[in-house]
Amino acid sequence: MARDIRTLTQPQLSAIQTACQKLAPSWPLDQMIAVSPYWPMRNEPIEQVSARLSALGGISMLMPASDYLDWYRRGLITEQALQTALAESGLGLSLGELVQTLERTPEQAPWQPLSALLDEHRARHKMAWRDEIIHQISQFCAAHFQQTQPMLHSHTQPDLYAHWLAVSQRDRGLSIVLDEPDLHRYFAQLPDDPQTLIAQALDTFGIEDEQIELYAHAMLLDISGWGAWVAYLRWQGELSNAPQDQTLALLAIRMAWELVLWRYQKAQFPGFFATLAHAWKQSIARLTDLPAQHQTQQKPLWIWARAAELSYQQQLHGVLSRPANLSAQAIQCQVAFCIDVRSEIYRRALEAQSDAIQTMGFAGFFGLPISYQPQLADVSRPQCPGLLMPSLVASHAQTDKHGAAALNAGARWQAFSKSATASFSMVESAGWIDTFKLLKKAFFASEQGHPVDKLSNSQSWSLKQNGEELSAQQKAGLAAGVLHAMGFEHFAPTVLLVGHGSQSTNNLQEAGLGCGACGGQSGEVNVKVLAWLLNDKAVRAALSELGVEIPEQTRFVAALHNTTTDHIRCYGEKPDAQIESWLLRATAVAQKERAAKLDAQLADFDREALDQALIARSLDWSQTRPEWGLANNAAFIVAPRDWTRGVDLQGRSFLHDYQWQHDTDFKVLETIMTAPMLVTHWINMQYNASTTDNLHFGSGNKVLHNAVGGNIGVFEGNGGDLRTGLAMQSLHNGHDWMHQVQRLSVYLAAPKSAIKDIASRHEVVQQLIDNEWLYVFQWQPSGEISRFYQQRWWPVPAPSDRQSEEQKIVQCL
């Protein structure tokens, strides 16, 4: 009895749904945060995922062989690390044979869908089927998902598949654009239901049940940019308990194009179709075994990748094994920074000014799960990590009607100015007067802040939950939790709470340089709210009842670290002259350290000239590399700052203060391992993925970016798939990569039993560790380091003596 191809069987539907869950979300431009594009596949070993993506989409999670060979010759991969990685692999190769694999290993071709097979026979003067299909789907999705009125001019947005089918069945231009007469007629044959479409496609193409998941995943990887946007909508729906998932509809659209091409070729070119059908049969037969073949081919490269990570870890272990630099001097000023790697450089510079300064590291949203809502304004935004849904609303206690009106107008103008045609339509719509404004920005640039930030200068705030103002006791409970998590044992006379934000102009990905813990915004609102909270007399009185005593003379000062210029701006009550002097000197030191990486010419500038040059870069409309963001991140260190104070970590480490002796139930450690550790992993993987395969998981050339739907994302140029990830200018200086690809190394100064227990209770953490998406080490005060992997502790050998200069020279040759 023939199977009914109008519906999917349960095994087929299950396989389709599994494939639909394999795409990671991508946040919109105004909330751009780092995301691992591999996140939904963390339950599989990383090498297996790498092979799968390579086989199905031609996606690389590894650097080219030539890069590893270059690193080896330059000493970035040591012979000792290579020998260790080689022994772990069990391949039985000699070191010489392993080097030869880099010189002779050919890349294995990925699987080809029907449209790609057709392109092998496509006339050169015609558009490639596969490229045009992606372009057509992408243009439709841009129109469908944009925040303005949908294409059909209805008041409610229609179903994704139904909308696409209605548009495609009316679009006679497809036949003209593709130079294929009557092609548009075949869209009329498609069913109205996406599951029925998928069932017909699977039957037509002869896809066996065990191949469905791989086939569906390959189809989705063709349009992974829009798949990431759909995954973001699903993520937000789950956070707000309003589930929605349009991935299956998107998959149906991609498969519909393949089905249309099959039917069109069969009807229009029956002679050629026999050849096509034979090629397709061979292609689909390869699908099942291809991931395993790619995994075998990639094995030597993973040895090199592991050796690169070991080389860095061995160097870092040597630094971490040195005795801690402790000071008995009284602390005059405490300065709390975000754990962001850019803060490490500034913290080191600031601590060098005086032993009376204590710096601390904590997630940049400072434990406040808030959204910021200026009163009387119709704009708002989350100020917490993307993993969380804001539970509190922060707004101003006093109303500024004039400011709110200006904010709304500014927000509308900013949205307009980000459109692809803004350079022409803004001037045309605004009139000749605004031409002078554009010229002023070009020749007399000044700081351009986000319009929402312009209303955040209030000294008095309101915190609400479910529409109700928090009581003093509730505020105290919130504050006590934050102070406990930050590890405060005592309070200096002045405590600076330093958020961070980036300053650049004409940069659609500006939010990606902001604070990821604050949802891609600056941390300005969070530090202002927390300083207000901790300075409030009623809150302090309630805190005292909770056993938290803040000295009367202690003042909390909100501040912002501009990571582009390394300026620190203090709000409200200013710190004393001594502290301001320390901050100014630290700024100069940090600027000097970063200068050479930004532009070699800056290295010779004197202090004042360098400061002015960095400010000018941040205001320059043509500057594509205002700063390097979190490039070259490599480690996450969770330990008392005393253990790393005075150590040059090269701006590569996230630093989170933690002292386990004050965390009796290890709840703080659990929070760190299930929140900041995941966020730093996301950051690390976004930079890795954007570097190893910028075509699939990066956003190409920043100069060609055009905003899609206001803030959905960017096109590179005017078409193709929606681009996700980082632009090349955020990773490469034109000569060299500024980010060295390696998995995050996490160092936890905590008891082994606590680390093991937390990992066993949180599946996500266990998956990341056991499937080797990151490394977790336990670090003891003695300098002893152990690795936690596969529910066991593995001793890490003590760092060997430094190689002689002669050995280093030999390696570099």
Q: Do 438 and 583 lie in a common domain?
A: yes
The conformational region for residue 503 under phi > 0 = left, psi -120 to 50 = alpha, else beta, is beta
Mean pLDDT of 56-84: 95
Determine the 3-state secondary structure of 544 from DSSP.
helix
Can you give the pLDDT at residue 171? 83
**Number of folded domains in the chain?**
3
Residue 663 has pLDDT above 90, yes or no: yes
Contacts of residue 90, defined as CB under 8 A and 6 or more positions apart, other chains included, come to none
Average pLDDT across the chain, whole number: 89
Q: Do 301 and 262 lie in a common domain?
A: no
CB atoms within 10 A of CB 466: 7
Q: What is the pLDDT of residues 4-41, one digit of tens each?
A: 667 899 999 999 999 999 999 999 999 999 999 999 99
Mean pLDDT of 371-400: 82
Can you give the pLDDT at residue 406? 56
Measure Cα distances from 283 to 88, 113, 207, 262, 750 in Å: 35, 8, 11, 15, 52
Determine, yes or no, domain membership for 136.
yes
Residue 449 has pLDDT above 70, yes or no: no
Residue 172 is given by DSSP the state T
Q: What is the residue range of 243's domain? A: 10-39+111-288
Can you give the pLDDT at residue 759? 98
Can you give the pLDDT at residue 399? 59
Determine, yes or no, domain membership for 726.
no
Cα–Cα distance for residue pair 542/475, rounded to 1 Å: 9
Give burial (CB, 10 Å; 0-12/13-18/19+) of 801. Answer: exposed
Q: Do 125 and 231 lie in a common domain?
A: yes
Determine, yes or no, domain membership for 660.
no
* Cβ–Cβ under 8 Å, residues 613 and 380: no
Can you give the pLDDT at residue 122? 86
Can you give the pLDDT at residue 801? 44
Q: How many CA atoms lie within 13 A of 374 on its CB side?
A: 22
Determine, yes or no, domain membership for 664.
no
Q: Do 235 and 341 lie in a common domain?
A: no
Cα–Cα distance for residue pair 508/513, rounded to 1 Å: 11
Token pair listed for 443 = 């020749």
Mean pLDDT of 653-678: 96
> E strand or H helix at 475, and its extent?
helix 472-486
Determine, yes or no, domain membership for 580.
yes
Q: Among 600, 631, 662, identify where a domain stops.
A: 631
Q: Computed from CA positions of residues 750, 753, 757, 759, in that sequence, does the dihedral angle turn out positive or negative?
A: positive
Q: What is the pLDDT of residues 758-767, one digit of tens each?
A: 999 999 999 9
Residue 256 has pLDDT above 90, yes or no: yes
Residue 1 has pLDDT above 50, yes or no: no
Determine, yes or no, domain membership for 667.
no
Cα–Cα distance for residue pair 98/83, rounded to 1 Å: 10
Q: Computed from CA positions of residues 532, 533, 534, 539, in that sequence, does the dihedral angle turn out positive or negative?
A: positive
**Residue that wins the pLDDT comparison between 572 and 322:** 572
Q: Do 356 and 215 lie in a common domain?
A: no
Residue 147 has pLDDT above 90, yes or no: no
Give residue 17's identity as a one-letter amino acid code.
Answer: Q
Q: Do 402 and 305 lie in a common domain?
A: no
Can you give the pLDDT at residue 783? 87
Q: Among 580, 609, 631, identify where a domain stops.
A: 631
Q: What is the pLDDT of residues 784-809, one digit of tens each?
A: 999 999 999 999 987 764 443 333 32
* Most confident stretch, 100-104, 326-330, 406-410, 430-434: 100-104
Cα–Cα distance for residue pair 397/393, rounded to 1 Å: 12
Q: Among 92-106, 375-389, 394-408, which stretch is predicted with the lowest mean pLDDT?
A: 394-408
Residue 157 is given by DSSP the state P
Q: Do 162 and 303 lie in a common domain?
A: no
CB atoms within 10 A of CB 443: 7
Residue 675 has pLDDT above 50, yes or no: yes
Q: Do 460 and 472 lie in a common domain?
A: yes
Mean pLDDT of 735-742: 96
Share of the chain above pLDDT 90, in %: 75
Mean pLDDT of 586-603: 93
Read off the pLDDT band of 638 (50, 70, 90): very high
Q: What is the CA radius of gyration of the chain?
A: 28
Determine the 3-state secondary structure of 618 from DSSP.
helix
Can you give the pLDDT at residue 434? 52
Determine, yes or no, domain membership for 322.
no
Q: Do 604 and 498 lie in a common domain?
A: yes
**Residue that wins the pLDDT comparison between 165 and 458:** 165
Q: Partners of 515 in the beta sheet?
A: 521
Q: What is the pLDDT of residues 390-446, one digit of tens each?
A: 999 999 876 555 555 555 555 544 444 444 444 333 334 445 455 555 455 555 555
Residue 275 has pLDDT above 80, yes or no: yes
* Cβ–Cβ under 8 Å, residues 166 and 140: no
Q: Do 550 and 627 lie in a common domain?
A: yes
Determine, yes or no, domain membership for 456.
yes
The pTM of this model reads: 0.92
Q: Do 390 and 261 lie in a common domain?
A: no
Measure Cα distances from 768 to 38, 372, 772, 791, 795 in Å: 11, 32, 6, 12, 20
**For residues 152-161, b (16+ Cβ closer than 10 Å) or e, as one string?**
eeeeeeeebb
Token pair listed for 199 = 């069932």
Q: Among 566, 597, 631, identify where a domain stops.
A: 631
Q: Do 351 and 209 lie in a common domain?
A: no
Share of the chain above pLDDT 70, in %: 87
Read off the pLDDT band of 101 (50, 70, 90): confident
Residue 659 is given by DSSP the state -
